[in-house]
Amino acid sequence: RGRLSDRDVDSLANLVIEMNPAFLPHTPQKDYLFHELLQNRSGKGGRGNIVSRSWFARHIDFTHHEEMLWSLYSPTNAEKRFNTLIAMRGHGMYLCVALNIPCIALSTQDKVSGFVQACRLEDYMVDTADKRSWSEALRSKVYRLQSNESYRKTWYEQRDACLQRWSTVSRRFHQHVRYSFEECMKWRDKFGKK
């Protein structure tokens, strides 16, 4: 539950009724309980699509993750590929950025909002800590991301800039490690193997 109160879960259940999303579980236990909770709250059994537990259990082994991701985010089949996501977990955000799928982050955890801020995608986040109107803000941003070309384009631009920053940081880190290693080798050569 984290930051979500009963009222917050009711708001999410109403959003599920309205949008009928596909659910992509992160764990074989908690996420299925969350889906069942939303169904029970909505009073509409079967609302929202979810990957079957048996299929998920067969693919949870890391050796199958490539197949799982290919099945869920097929880049060659436009009908299967997601065009918008609501990410509630850090992994969901990482996948959206890595696979270039525009998303709105529903932050129920600091690590989600931290990642969003690191990518400078704050305009694409709704934090449930804002108890005033987070559910309406989420609904509004999802529809805006789906219908407003400029808003969607800006997401892609921010995502690309984020990847560029990571690449720059990664290069600097590797250069630093290489330099440090070379310096250690110089000291070893100068003072002998001790």
pLDDT score, position 46: 47
Report the residue count for the chain: 194
pLDDT along the chain (194 residues), means of 10: 72 79 68 71 60 65 57 56 80 82 88 89 89 85 94 95 84 79 77 64
Give long-range contacts, CB 8 A cutoff, 24+ apart: 55-58.
Answer: 56/25, 56/28, 57/28
pLDDT score, position 5: 76
pLDDT score, position 28: 64
Helix (H) or strand (E) holding 105: strand 103-107
pLDDT score, position 96: 84
Return all residues near 93 (Cβ < 8 A) that are at least 6 apart.
87, 103, 105, 112, 115, 116, 119
pLDDT score, position 111: 83
Parallel, antiparallel or unpaired: strands 49-50 and 85-87 = unpaired
SS (H, E, C) 44-66: CCCCCEECCHHHHHHHCCHHHHH
